[in-house]
């Protein structure tokens, strides 16, 4: 049986700041040695060369080493997933997950938050965009589910991943071994890596049958409703964090999910919050949340039709500002308006993640409760 979870959202005061994580540990809210995952937004460009992710990663791992008893090598194994780019009003922040001793958690038999993580086998440059990567991701998702104590895929509400993308060096490596890569456009490889990973998640959870190579990035009817995939230069494996609910572990938190049908679909966000267990009025306002929403996690994508609700937009034709940044700012504003908080996790490049032109939404809420005994 997995242990109960404590989860907190904290601001980043600068790209190298981990002071709020240190404060949670110093105040006894979290134990450094029990931190099992971090998912956050940094203020870089969100592109191939976004090194703010590496800077933030180092800052958080240094705090966990300094304030705990785990070695540097042990702390390196903790999944810390950074999504670069806080376009528009999105505020840099991190959501920190830690286990609790059973006697420190609210006791309940209702479904409560659980987290499992895993690392896939090494993903070669030539795997990206192909069945080999789908299979490696799917295997790691199943391992993470097992570690979370989840047996029914319906209890998985959010799968956050970080996977490698292609760089000039890795493309050169593949060629030196006589291999061909899916694309030599390194920026395009970000979308490709995310999309392939999402298909691996969908396969593992039984949302789709395993697709063929020629369906990757092309058959947009295939998607996962719970996948949130990011990619970067930091690693050569798929880093998998599975978040769901199980009964019997106790705790205060619960997660739910839904999808946004398009970039303006506020109802999709509210539906995810309701699915997590909050009772809300028919037409809710962020004041109805009463501080019980920990965070929302969204993926977004410019609609390939070039329109939203039958109104044409110019995102995909804009040569000055890449559509990645425009759609992220748009959906970030929608999510912040719903939650009343600009510290929302919004990530771009969502092919095969939610319906085309929309994206998946996960919400974690605090259902409260008191300790017994």
**Which residue is catalytic, options 124, 189, 230, 271?**
230
CA distance 42 to 56: 7
CA distance 224 to 130: 17
Asked if residue 99 lies in contact with residue 4, where contact means CB atoms within 8 angstroms, the answer is yes
298: nearest Cα among 266, 252, 344: 344
Please enumerate in sequence order all residues whose Cβ is within 8 A of that of 322, keeping only pairs 6 or more positions apart, or say none: none
Task: Identify whether 104 is a catalytic site residue.
Answer: no
**Which residue is catalytic, options 9, 41, 136, 162?**
162
DSSP calls for 26-90: HTTSS-GGGEEEEEEEESS--STT-THHHHHHHHHHHHHHHHSS--HHHHHTS-EEEEE---TT-
Burial of 150-162, coded b for 16+ CB within 10 Å and e otherwise, reads: beeeebbbbbbbb
For residue 81, what are its two tokens?
């997933």
CA distance 188 to 129: 11
Please enumerate in sequence order all residues whose Cβ is within 8 A of that of 274, keeping only pairs 6 or more positions apart, or say none: 256, 280
SS3 content of the chain, % helix, strand, coil (to 5): 35, 25, 40
Task: Identify whether 230 is a catalytic site residue.
Answer: yes
Residues noted as catalytic: 162, 230
């Amino acid at each position: 049986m997995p242990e109960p979870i404590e989860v907190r959202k904290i601001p980043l005061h600068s790209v190298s700041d981990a002071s709020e994580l240190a404060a949670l540990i110093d105040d006894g809210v979290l134990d450094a040695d029990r931190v099992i995952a971090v998912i956050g937004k940094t203020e870089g460009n969100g592109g191939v060369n976004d090194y703010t992710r590496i800077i933030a990663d180092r800052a958080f791992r240094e705090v966990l080493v300094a304030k705990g008893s785990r070695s540097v090598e042990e702390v390196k194994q903790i999944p810390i997933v950074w999504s670069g780019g806080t376009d528009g009003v999105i505020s840099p922040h991190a959501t920190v997950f830690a286990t609790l001793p059973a006697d420190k958690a609210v006791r309940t038999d209702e479904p409560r938050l659980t987290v499992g993580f895993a690392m896939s086998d090494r993903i070669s440059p030539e795997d990206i965009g192909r069945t080999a990567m789908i299979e490696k991701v799917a295997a790691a998702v199943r391992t993470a589910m097992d570690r979370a104590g989840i047996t029914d895929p319906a209890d998985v509400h959010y799968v956050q991943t970080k996977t490698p993308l292609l760089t000039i060096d890795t493309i050169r490596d593949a060629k030196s071994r006589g291999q061909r890569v899916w694309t030599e456009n390194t920026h395009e490889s970000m979308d490709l890596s995310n999309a392939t990973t999402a298909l691996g998640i969908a396969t593992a959870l039984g949302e789709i049958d395993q697709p063929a190579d020629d369906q990757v990035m092309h058959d947009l009817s295939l998607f996962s409703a719970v996948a949130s995939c990011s990619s970067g230069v930091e690693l050569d494996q798929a880093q998998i964090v599975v978040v769901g609910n199980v009964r019997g572990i106790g705790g205060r938190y619960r997660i739910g999910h839904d999808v946004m049908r398009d970039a303006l679909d506020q109802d999709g966000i509210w539906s995810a919050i309701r699915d997590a267990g909050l009772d809300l009025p028919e037409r809710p306002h962020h004041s109805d949340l009463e501080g019980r929403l920990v965070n929302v996690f969204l993926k977004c994508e410019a609609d390939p039709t070039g329109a939203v609700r039958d109104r044409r937009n110019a995102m995909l034709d804009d040569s000055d500002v890449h559509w990645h940044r425009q759609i992220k700012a748009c959906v970030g504003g929608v999510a912040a308006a719903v939650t009343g908080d600009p510290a929302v996790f919004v990530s771009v490049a969502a092919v095969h993640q939610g319906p085309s032109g929309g994206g998946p939404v996960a919400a974690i809420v605090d259902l409260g409760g008191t300790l017994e005994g």
